[in-house]
Structure formats: structure tokens, C-alpha cells
Amino acid sequence: MSFLAGSAVTSFGAHPGRSTLDLMAEAASAALADAGLERGDVDGVVCGYSTTHPHVMLSTVFAEHFGLQPRFATALQLGGATGVAMAMTAHLVIEAGGAERVLVVAGENRLTGQSRDSAIQTLAQVGHPVYEVPLGTTIPAYYGLVASAYLHEHGAREADLAELAVLMRRHAGGHPGAHFREPVTVDDVLGSRPIAEPLKLLDCCPVSDGGAAFVLTRRPVNDHSLALLGAGQGHTHQHISAAPSLLRYGAGPSARTALAQAGLGLERVRYAAVYDSFTVTLALLLEEIGFAPPGAAGRMAADGYFSTAGAVPLNTHGGLLSYGHCGVGGAMAHLAELHRQMTGRAGARQVPGELDVGLLHGDGGVLSSHVTLVVGRP
């Protein structure tokens, strides 16, 4: 077992003049402060990648920058699932005795550090360089294909998907750090300009600057440490052309592994933190994990099931769709919020009642890579 002792997320949005390392350092300092630890306590560093600071050794680049000389360091790449995989890696390293206090950190000036075209083209490279990218693909195009199959198979409507964007925006309204906080309606989503049909602008997460960090430890070090009870992964393909199914991916196996390791059923989960790069991503993941029947996630959101006062509060910071998406740090914001909520420190956004079990799920590529963590009170 390991413990989530500290977490932090910067505000997401435009941070002109701030570099990848600036945003990583800001988040790392805040996460250490949250844990009540000093830089000198850290003996492990796990990083991801940054498209605006490409480097083959980002973890030691950061360690040097931040003044650390850890006995364990690594950087990993799993697209949008990277942040969750980083926490899982730190957890496994701690369990294996490789380190005792691991700093997990990411940041990127993805919005202001490059042109919009550059960001779109870099991200499209998760597609196949010979068989897909030369067709003029984008990430929204890959997910637009997925969304068409989802709507066709389940008879869901675009308005159902829009409900998820409306919910994420409502949640973001309660967080001062969110990239977008103005409420939107289903009609706003349906009327926003088409990006890759059936996905409209408000079905898509924004590109943001930001950073996030965690401190994982071998023992609880404060009164707000949470236990990592289970972790799982599932990887079925890289490219959407080669996916074994357009309706079921690796999320189910990943979540089942994590829950089995924790010895808990899904019905025990009281807070959900689920990757939401697009509305259809969130719908597919909620349904495959088992929080909603096939095709029903949007309607359940409209009925309040995933609201702050609902049965399973979801992404109460606003998710990628409205808190924002800065790359690796994007999904890490979900865990930072889960940490706040489950330890009763979410302020005005605090979910009522006892939140003793939470589930975090990340997705990378085009529903290619899945990582799930189950978190509980120690």
C-alpha cells in the first residue's frame, strides 16, 4: 500500500511567460506544502512529458531544476492516461521498496507555448503516421468517429452527450482555478461550432496551461493522507483503425483489476474522477466502468446522478472539459480534486456525506490506454 499525502493543481488557462518547468515547480512546491514535507524529504521523482519541452529525460531535468537528487527517477508517456499511470508507478515503486516519498509532477504551457495549429498537429500524432495522419486527422476527428459509432449503436442523442458538458461547466463554476466557468446550456453545446461532427466545440476540452503534482508516501504523514487500495491498467490498441471494438475498450478490465485489488465492488465508490477529453469519452468510460448502462450516461447526468449532491459525484472541479487540459497534468487535476473531496477540504464545493472510497480513471490515445486507481480512507 502507499498513501496520497499531498496534492496540488495550479489554475488552468493562459499563463503567458510561464514554462513547463515553471508550472511543474509551482505545482510541486504546493503539493509538498500540502503533504507537510520539505524538498529534502523526497527520494523519488516521477514525471511525464511536455509537448512544449520535449526531452528524453524529463524527470532528471526537473529534479535538477527543483534541486532534488532522488534515488529513484523516471518519466513515462501514456498520452492522457500518463498522470494516472505516474501515480500508479509511484505506488508500485513504494510498494517494492524503491523509494519512500515520491514526488509525481507535471506541467505544460500547452496553450501559450505554441501555436494552436502546432498543438493540434502534435496531438494528432497519436494517430498512425502512415495510415491515418496523412488523411488530415485531428484528435477530435478520431473521437468524432468514436462518437458516431456510440450514438448509432446506443440510440443516444447529441443532446445527451451535451448534458455532460453542461455538468462539467456547472462544476467548474465552483472552482476559481478553472479555465472556463461561465455556465452553458444544452442548446449552447448543440449550437457551438462543429469541430469534428458529431462533436461541437463545447463537446471538446480546451487546450490549457497548467501544472499538477502529488506526493505519495510509504506511510501516512498527515491527517489527510489517503490510501491507494488498488490499481489496474488495460491496453487494447494504439490507433483507432486497429481497435478491436468501437464500443468497448480497456476501461472495463482496468477498473475491474483495480477494484478487485482493493477488494471492493463498484457500488462502494462514492466519488468518481473520470477522464473527459470529450463528452463522448466521458460517456463511454462511465458506461464501460459500470457507473451507467450503455448509452445512458448523459441522461443520468441530466437527472443529477453525477452532481455534487448526486449518488456518485463526478469531477467536481469541472474536469478536462471545463477546468481544462494542460496535457499530463490534466487528469492529475481529477486526483487532486478527489483528494480534496475525500478529505473534507473542498470548501464550497464539498460533497456532503462520508466519501470513503473514490475511483480515478485515465484514458490515453484514442481510448487506447487505460489506468484506474481506487483510493480510500486509511
Binding site for other proteins (CB under 8 A): 117, 120-121, 124, 128, 130-132, 134-138, 140-141, 144-149, 152, 193-199, 239-242, 246
Least distance CB 76 / other proteins (angstroms)? 24
Place of cell 463528452: 279
Distance in Å, CB of 119 to other proteins, minimum: 10
H/E element holding 128?
A: none
C-alpha 174: how far from chain center:
18
Going by the DSSP 8-state scheme, the letter that residue 96 receives in this structure is T
- The residues that bridge with 8 in the sheet, in sequence order, are 213
| Smallest separation (angstroms) from other proteins to the CB of 124 | 6
CA gap 141, 146 in Å, rounded: 9
The beta-strand segments (E) located in 51-122 are: 72-75, 101-109
Of 144 and 234, which has the nearer Cβ to other proteins? Answer: 144
Tell me how far, at minimum, the Cβ of 115 lies from other proteins, in Å.
Answer: 11
Task: Supply the minimum distance, in Å, between the C-beta of residue 352 and other proteins.
Answer: 41
Q: Would you say 199 and 278 are in contact if contact means Cβ atoms under 8 Å apart? A: yes
140 or 206: CB nearest other proteins: 140
By beta-carbon proximity to other proteins, the closer residue of 132 and 209 is 132
Q: Give the nearest distance from C-beta 246 to other proteins in angstroms.
A: 6
CB 297 within 8 A of CB 291: yes
Q: What are phi and psi of 70, to 5 degrees?
A: -75, 160
User: How many CB atoms neighbour CB 309 within 10 A?
Assistant: 9
Would you say 46 or 151 has its CB closer to other proteins? 151
| Euclidean distance between the first and the last CA atom of the chain, given in angstroms as a whole number | 10
Give the nearer residue to other proteins in terms of CB position, either 131 or 260.
131
The DSSP call for residue 319 is H
Beta-carbon contacts of residue 13 (< 8 Å; ≥ 6 apart)? 111, 178, 179, 208, 209, 210, 324
* CB 126 to other proteins: min, Å: 13
C-alpha separations of 207 from 120, 184, 291 in Å: 9, 18, 27
- For other proteins, give the closer residue by CB, 27 or 280: 280
Q: Compare residues 196 and 255 and give the one whose CB is closer to other proteins.
A: 196
